[in-house]
Structure 1
Amino acid sequence: MLHHSQIPFLALLILGISALSCTQAHADQPRHKTGFQKLEIPASDQGRALSGAIWYPTENGSHTAATLIADNAAFVGEEVIMDAATDAPPHPLVVLSHGFGGNWRNQIWLATSLVQAGYIVAAINHPGTTSRDLEPVKGARLWQRPADISHLITALERNTQWGAHIDTSDISAIGHSLGGWTVMELAGARMDADKMAQDCQHHPELAACDVVRDFAVGKTATDRRKLKQDLRDPRIKRVISLDLGLARGFSNDSLAHITIPTLVIAAGSPNPKLPAKLESRYLFDHLPAKYRTLTVQENAAHFSFLQTCKPNAINLLEAEKPGDGIICKDGLKGDRRQIHQEITQQVLAFLARH
């Protein structure tokens, strides 16, 4: 569940299917049921301790009662089969990165749809920038976010349960908002804190600049050096950015040298804090034409990429924290379920094409 004690401008960066199959083989098969387990990944030399979840295809849950996860008074959950056996064939892996103040539950609608198409999907909470753990000292270390995803992949590869079920030659990364920034780092983009600081003088209205200022991102020379390091993970073969933020902090040279397929999906509903022209479109314009694809969800707002909201969710969120009702607001003609279906089709088509 999202933590709504944040102030509204931080909420603005909460970063974070069936109709189309990823291959003809998948289209000819019955839809997979969704198995589910929680993940606890210990700290190691490769990364910090992480908590999250994994969704996976199973055909062994037909006589097992489904469990509703991530469902609460405000948000619609998804049905899964807890601790079900995993299908034997190796499956492609998709890793998810949530946005600022978000958590692993935010894209469960996409995770379950990907599983039904034959993917294994894993997501974790990023310490310091997740709900119930918004901590400036940890959160300012943005370079740890892509490292978290690499640590997750390594842990799954080495795990006796999951290693045999994952096709390690077919790994994709998807991220929303600051999660979109995270997966672009994994593709080879590099953060230039000095460039971002200068840009924020010209565009102080951006939500990304709120985070840079309030979390003191890139404050020290050491931090700026670590932000600029190459965090590319060659195991990731393609990335998808969902209405990302902080794009203008990437060095143009690093974006120009990305060599894996990249799908950039932008929210079309006007948002002065996260304008598509200055974030998703900026990213797209600086990527090599050979590898880039851009789509705009005209009826989507920034938070349309989160879970579907229940009918009284806006009132509940506003009562808890004025301003947080925005999380459940879509574009003027937006219907979140329809938006999710369209995004899912785009994601599956992109994964199949590449």
Structure 2
Amino acid sequence: MQSIVRLMTIVAALLALMPAAPVLAADVGFEQVAIPNGAEPPLAAGIWYPTTAPATPHALGDLTQTIAPDAPIAGRHLPLVVLSHGGAGWYGGHYDTALALARAGFVAAALSHAGDTFDDQSRVLQLWRRPAQLHRLVDYMLDDWHGHEQLDAARVGAFGFSNGGFTALVAAGGIPDLATIAPFCEAHPDHDLCEALRHANVDVHSGAQVPAGAWVHDPRIEAVVIAAPSFGFAFGRAGLSGVRAPVQLWSAADDRHQPHPWYDEPVRDGLPRAPAWHVVDNAGHYDFLPPCDARLARRRPQICDSKPGFDRAAFHERFNAAVVQFFEAVLRQH
């Protein structure tokens, strides 16, 4: 009898150490946090996570999401995905993807990249700041967040769109050459990316002044999803040789903001391991952002309008499902 009890105790201890199966949450909890950022003001961030508390509609900036604010966290050994928004965005920019991840049993954390948000473009070409901030977000989630003991530090993924895709690539080991931006924009002044920098009075030569040791990588990131990465031409094979994590890469077939083949394709072709490559027919650059309601569409038509016949809402159902499936498949191995 004692041997059976001892065996059951050992089995219970082993089960406690094993990663838990994904939690299919009935609802999603959400909280906003301020993350210490050295001598600079704290970074604003949002965190979505599985919960059993009932969710109700709540405002998120100009958006509405169905969440349970500051609810208890459901589950243990939960995988973490950090999200990096595009240029002039904010932490709520991919809230629908964060909700989908949380419903599938992930904790999704996104931050607003100081210096490259909708209300502050003062450091838009100091691109090295972004992966450093993302690294700080991972540190906070694994060490300081009140729910950190319910996370699995061995299962961390990163999601990024546009400038956020660039950020995720660097975080995963990429090293870009920002000195390529000025000659590129001289050769392609009609590109929206280059026009946006010019209209913002950003000196495209300033990006070449990269401080020593500025590119911060995060070896804890084990899986990466990237949509329409900006500055893809700045990497090359050598610059991407350090990216070892599996990558799912999304491209909008009708991306007029970052025209083909200078952004997505150099990343696809330069990665040491071929990514899971998805081309979305009839989609534009901003179709990777969530569908807009009528009010936001009136205020921001440049990011809300899709081509005739493209159903952004239906696409996001498929897109979010594929993102969740990829992270589940890769991070389950760890």
**Aligned: 1:196 with 2:181:** yes
1:134-159 deviation line (CA, Å, top 9, x unaligned) = 22xx3332101000010011112221
**Aligned: 1:331 with 2:333:** no
Distance change >3 Å, CA 113–CA 220, structure 1 → 2: closer
What residue in structure 2 maps to residue 302 of structure 1? 285
| Kept after mapping to 2: 8 A contact 1:183/1:241 | yes
What residue in structure 2 maps to residue 320 of structure 1? none
**Given the two structures, how large is their TM-score scaled by the length of structure 1?**
0.80
The percentage of counterpart residues that share the same residue type is 27
What is the SS of the residue equivalent to 2:217?
A: coil
How far apart, in 2, do the equivalents of 1:160 and 1:325 lie? 36
**Aligned: 1:237 with 2:210:** no
| Kept after mapping to 2: 8 A contact 1:186/1:232 | yes
**Counterpart amino acid of residue 278 in structure 1:** W
Count of aligned pairs: 310
**Given the two structures, how large is their TM-score scaled by the length of structure 2?**
0.85
**Aligned: 1:287 with 2:266:** no
What residue in structure 1 maps to residue 58 of structure 2? 68
- Return 5+ residue gaps in structure 2 as ranges: 1-18
How far apart, in 2, do the equivalents of 1:283 and 1:43 lie? 30
What is the SS of the residue equivalent to 2:91?
A: coil
How far apart, in 2, do the equivalents of 1:141 and 1:30 lie? 39
1:12-42 deviation line (CA, Å, top 9, x unaligned) = xxxxxxxxxxx9954xx65431001101011
Displacement after TM superposition at 1:277 (Å): 2.2
How far apart, in 2, do the equivalents of 1:81 and 1:121 lie? 15
**Counterpart amino acid of residue 326 in structure 2:** F
Q: How does 1:161-310 map to 2 (within 5 A)?
A: 161-210=146-195, 213=198, 214-219=201-206, 223-226=209-212, 229-271=214-256, 273-288=257-272, 290-310=273-293
| Kept after mapping to 2: 8 A contact 1:259/1:291 | no
Larger RCO: Structure 1 or Structure 2 (Cα < 8 Å, ≥ 6 residues apart)? 1
Distance change >3 Å, CA 146–CA 205, structure 1 → 2: same
| Kept after mapping to 2: 8 A contact 1:43/1:49 | yes
| Kept after mapping to 2: 8 A contact 1:109/1:307 | yes
**Counterpart amino acid of residue 41 in structure 1:** I
**Counterpart amino acid of residue 148 in structure 1:** Q
Displacement after TM superposition at 1:212 (Å): 5.2
- Return 5+ residue gaps in structure 1 as ranges: 1-22, 318-323
How far apart, in 1, do the equivalents of 2:206 and 2:255 lie? 31
Choose the corresponding residue for 2:49, options 56, 66, 70. Answer: 56
RMSD: 2.4
What is the SS of the residue equivalent to 2:45?
A: strand
Displacement after TM superposition at 1:247 (Å): 1.0
What residue in structure 1 maps to residue 29 of structure 2? 35
1:96-146 deviation line (CA, Å, top 9, x unaligned) = 1111111111100100011000000001111111011222xx333210100
What residue in structure 2 maps to residue 346 of structure 1? 322
Max Rg structure:
2
What is the SS of the residue equivalent to 1:278?
A: coil
Displacement after TM superposition at 1:162 (Å): 2.2
Q: How does 1:97-108 map to 2 (within 5 A)?
A: 97-108=84-95
